[in-house]
Structure 1
């Protein structure tokens, strides 16, 4: 993963956020809108095999990082989620630290508590869930250190 070209989100404001995050080791970008902790997630494209990077709001559960595949409440899961389902070995950057992690969807038993944790960080997730007919996945990123 380290020597390959990484392709940032095709969404301009996300790509701008990612670029700022990378250039400053998260000094600009980690606290999105001044209050929301974000990390950079790099997955391998399930169709292209290319590395794809995006910024996501995150929480913590012990050593694990927690992200939500909300896609703004759209009916389809986001591409990054589909990519990590196909290949759960991902790269994560938090501030200036980059590490490999294994991604997994939260088990049914632990999802409610993790969902509440994430909705406490970004309450708009509740509105997204009401809008979507799908259950929005909660994803765990476990560092491989």
Structure 2
């Protein structure tokens, strides 16, 4: 990814996050990602994590799927050779916040293993086919995280 591409991606992500937050989740949940190889109705959640070293709160929009009542997110970082910071922060936490449209929850997390991971990965690559290219672009094993919603919390704000 070139510097210009990275800047334009950051701008797009920032705009998406602002729309999701400013609308309380009424907008930003479903996006058309056909221009980047995705589907016309791609669902997005927000995750809220606390920085493991900074203590700051970070909110990130991510594509998600639903497998047997668990929310699935993928730590792809566009196929970069390092894990995204949000993933590192999840690993350092017992729970995180997750918002889907206009509902938010505290959630516990886990990483599926073996055959379950294979099945969940196949499902997520069906939801967002570019994940396949992201995996071939890196030597790291892209993490898949499953979130189990718990108690309701307030929707996220800017």
TM-score normalized with structure 1 length: 0.88
Question: Counterparts of 2:65 and 2:111 in 1: how far apart (Å)?
Answer: 15
SS of 2:66 mapped into structure 1: strand
Query: How many Å apart are 1:125 and its aligned residue?
Result: 0.1
Q: Tell me which stretches of 4 or more aligned residues in structure 1 moved more than 6 Å.
A: none
- Check if 1:93 corresponds to 2:92: no
- Check if 1:111 corresponds to 2:117: yes
Question: Counterparts of 1:35 and 1:133 in 2: how far apart (Å)?
Answer: 30
- Tell me the alpha carbon deviations over residues 75-130 of structure 1, each in whole angstroms, 9 at most, x when there is no partner: 00000000000113100000110110012222233100000000000000000000
Alignment match, 1:5: none
Give 1:1-145 correspondences, 5 Å limit: 11-33=10-32, 34-145=40-151
Query: How many Å apart are 1:18 and its aligned residue?
Result: 1.2
**What is the count of residue pairs matched by the alignment?**
135
Bigger proportion of residues as helix = 2
Question: Counterparts of 1:97 and 1:45 in 2: how far apart (Å)?
Answer: 23
Contact 1:59 1:118 in 2 (8 A): yes
Structure showing greater Rg? 2
TM-score normalized with structure 2 length: 0.81
Runs of 5+ unmatched residues, structure 1:
1-10
